[in-house]
Amino acid sequence: MRNNAVIVFTIFMLATMSCSDKKPHQQNSPFQKLTPIEEKYKPLTIAEFEPQGWLKEQLRENLDGFAGRLDTLVPELIMDDRIYGEDRLTKKVKHKNVGALGEDGDWQVQFLWWNSETQSNWRDGYIRTAILLKDEAHLAKLQDYVNYILSTQDEDGYLGIYDNDLRYNFDNENGELWAKASLLRGLWAWYEYTKDEKVFTAIERAVKNMMENYPVNNSQPFYSKQPNVGGTSHGLTITDVLESLYRVTGNESYREYCLFLYKDFSEQELNESAQYKKLVNDTLMLTSHGVHVYEHLRSLAAAYYASGNPELKIAIDKFLAKINDETTASGAGVGDEWIGGIKADATNRGYEYCSIHELMHSYVELFIKTGNSQYADKVEKIFLNAAQGSRHPEQNCIAYLKSDNSYYMTGGLNGDTSDKHQTRYSYSPVHQEAAVCCVPNAARITPYYIQHTWLKGENTLVASLLGPGTVNTTLNDAPVQVSAITNYPFENTLVFNVTADTEFELKIRKPDWVTTYTVSAEYQDESGFIVLKKKWSGKETVTIDFKPEVIAQRDINNEVYFSYGALVLASPIASVEERVKTFPIPGFYNLHYSPKSLTIYEYMGEPVRLSDPTSLRFKAMLWNTGTKNTEEVELIPMGKTILRQVTFKEYSK
């Protein structure tokens, strides 16, 4: 609302403004577009990757497991609800099974977007997994799905979950943008694989429809009369789709829309820690729903690159510092499910599988934008340790919530039984008692890792994340193939077979833990990268040998943990397994684990040695707090454990 004083002030400012036409009050706006920044690297398409080795095996296990079969494990959430088509949400729906929602009257139909997330995040992971494995049977099934989704698109381009009476017209929690973000990410992967222009056009039209109905700088997509929203704020990740469109078309309006969305998100009254004003307030820790916070990091980064505004760079730096306070030894960001303004803790704070994926994806985007290898180190740490360590090492199931020090997986955090309904600290292929959110993200994370193992720069091919696999791409319009033959991170020799007849720069990321290494060819060492710039001819081989050592590191609470190369180590705890549910499909169970006997160890300053290089077993002399004696304890990579101790308090007499 305006008052007379404001009008007088405005007239005064207009009268005194110089011909430069700069409005002083806007100069300091963090959302003002200055000079947009070019991203350092570009992602390749998923069609250019051929996974191998353990990464391929993991994709196969997932595809034969929850990633390929979630629709038959929870048919009521996927097959029976055509939420983007015949079952779109409308005010006419007066009765619906609302599951965990409250009594009649305290919910609105627009809230019921959950199945769109379950379906679309799952399909995104399923699509990418089937493409990477070139699995014809699954690809045929997915082609039918894509055909169906395209058939739901309205004349005006609308793709989404709301009927005409609800869409783009909300004053409260809703899933308009979120249902699109999760859907279009999967369709984008399908487009990259098939190069089907129909799919590209469908995505473009859906985004145009959104931009027409929520006009840039002239609408409020994040307005909600009550500040606790879920789907609404998840919707900020539509920036993923906008950035993909920008990267392919070069159309700046897609990036500018990212800036607008982050601005509107920041200006509304929402309980969200990633809002600009909260990020730059050093007295505020992160408090809100973890997965929102970690995914919003990359939406802010998109807004910064779209604007070039240094105020947003400051916000990113402060955001990263706040995330650091919530980060455990395994690289995960805590939140169970709220971050709650409490720092990370290896024993007393859990992290959600959704957050593991979203934080990893945000670090991937920061690496693409900046080329700064520290972000790729974070990606590797979280994927190779937190993500692997929350995935069951032998069975088809994952933990919804997990902690680095994991002493019980029986529902509550480390055996806590105060909340009878807490089931998240356990293993399941669905986790339907809580929400089917984490399993879809467990299907997404491995393909997302694989398809960012290589990136392109100006006449440069970058091995950004390390692991076995082949990339087939072009540089200078000439075909280039590079195969990484390795069992990284379980072995640290990487053989790169390069097949090309053109000049380009091959950049291989040198992980942050590397101090000693050899390269079989002439190279430059450039800020975290091994760089080979030359005219490549025929088939050439470059062998790199990283020489890891066991390092004693400290988490944010000064507890000690051990790493060997990219792997965080753990003392495994022998456990008793209990099948608490058997699914109609053979081999699928909900599983609980209790320790056979629980011993907590402390660190005495003794070195840890590699005792078996083949199976990666280590020996540590630790203090047994039960027997009050030193004891030789075996450590293994935490990604291969169920119950475990990862961090060790320092022993003091």
How far is the C-alpha of 427 from the C-alpha of 34, rounded, in Å? 48
**Cα-Cα-Cα-Cα dihedral sign, residues 420, 422, 427, 433:** positive
What the block records as the tokens of 25 is: 């009050």
Between the alpha carbon of residue 401 and those of residues 68, 69, 350, the distances in Å are 22, 22, 6
Q: Which residue has the tokens 């390929």?
A: 68
CB of 331 to Zn ion, least distance (A): 17
Q: Cβ of residue 437: shortest distance to Zn ion, in angstroms?
A: 3
Q: How far is the CB of 354 from Zn ion (least distance, A)?
A: 3
Q: How far apart are CA 651 and CA 620, in angstroms?
A: 14
**C-beta of 127 vs 437, nearer to Zn ion:** 437
Q: Which one, 222 or 351, has the nearer CB to Zn ion?
A: 351
Q: What is the dihedral of CA 260, 265, 267, 268, to 10 degrees?
A: 140
First to last CA, the chain: 66
Minimal distance in Å, beta carbon 337 to Zn ion? 7
CA-to-CA dists, residue 177 to 173, 210, 241, angstroms: 11, 8, 11
Render the burial of 485-518: b for 16+ CB within 10 Å, e for the rest.
bbebbbebebebebbbeeebbbbbbbbebbeeee
Nearest to 541 by CA among 495, 478, 510: 495
Q: Exposed (0-12), middle (13-18) or buried (19+): which is 594, by Cβ within 10 Å?
A: middle
Least spacing, CB of residue 400 vs Zn ion, in Å: 6
d(CA 631, CA 627): 9
Q: Which is nearer to Zn ion, 234 or 298 (CB)?
A: 234
Task: Rank residues 39 and 352 by Cβ distance to Zn ion and give the closer one.
Answer: 352
Considering the complex, state which of residue 189 and residue 437 has its C-beta at the smaller distance from Zn ion. 437
435 versus 480: smaller Cβ distance to Zn ion: 435
Both tokens of 233, joined, read 């704020």
Contact, 564 vs 549, CB < 8 A? yes
Comparison of 334 and 354: residue with beta carbon closer to Zn ion: 354
Min dist CB 424 to Zn ion, Å, is 8
Least separation in angstroms between CB 640 and Zn ion: 23
Evaluate whether 648 touches 602 at the Cβ level (below 8 Å).
yes
Tokens representing residue 539 in the block: 């088939």
Task: Give least dist CB 240 to Zn ion, A.
Answer: 17
Tokens encoding 514: 């590397």
Its sign, for the CA torsion 32, 33, 36, 39, is positive
Name the minimum Å distance from CB 175 to Zn ion: 15
Question: What pairs with residue 504 in β-bridges?
Answer: 534
Closest to Zn ion by CB, 203 or 443: 443
- Which residue, 354 or 384, is less far from Zn ion as judged by CB? 354
59 or 437, CB closer to Zn ion? 437
The distance of closest approach from Cβ of residue 590 to Zn ion in the complex, given in angstroms and rounded to an integer, is: 16
Q: Residue 316 Cβ, how far from Zn ion at the closest point, in Å?
A: 25
Report CA torsion sign: 152, 154, 159, 160. negative
Select 237 or 563, whichever has its Cβ closest to Zn ion: 237
Q: Could you give the strand order of the β-sheet that contains 589-595, starting from the edge strand earlier in sequence?
A: 398-399, 427-428, 589-595, 575-582
How is 325-356 classified by DSSP, letter by letter? HTB-TTSPBP-SSB-TT----TTT--EEHHHH
Residue number with CB closer to Zn ion (354 or 616):
354
Closer by beta carbon to Zn ion, 354 or else 638: 354
Task: Compute φ and ψ for 52, nearest 5 degrees.
Answer: -140, 175
Distance (Å, whole) CA 439 – CA 125: 10
Give the footprint of Zn ion on this chain (CB under 5 A).
Answer: 352, 354, 437-438
Q: How far is the CB of 297 from Zn ion (least distance, A)?
A: 17
213 φ, ψ to 5°? -85, -25
Minimum distance, C-beta of residue 352 to Zn ion, in the bound complex (Å): 5
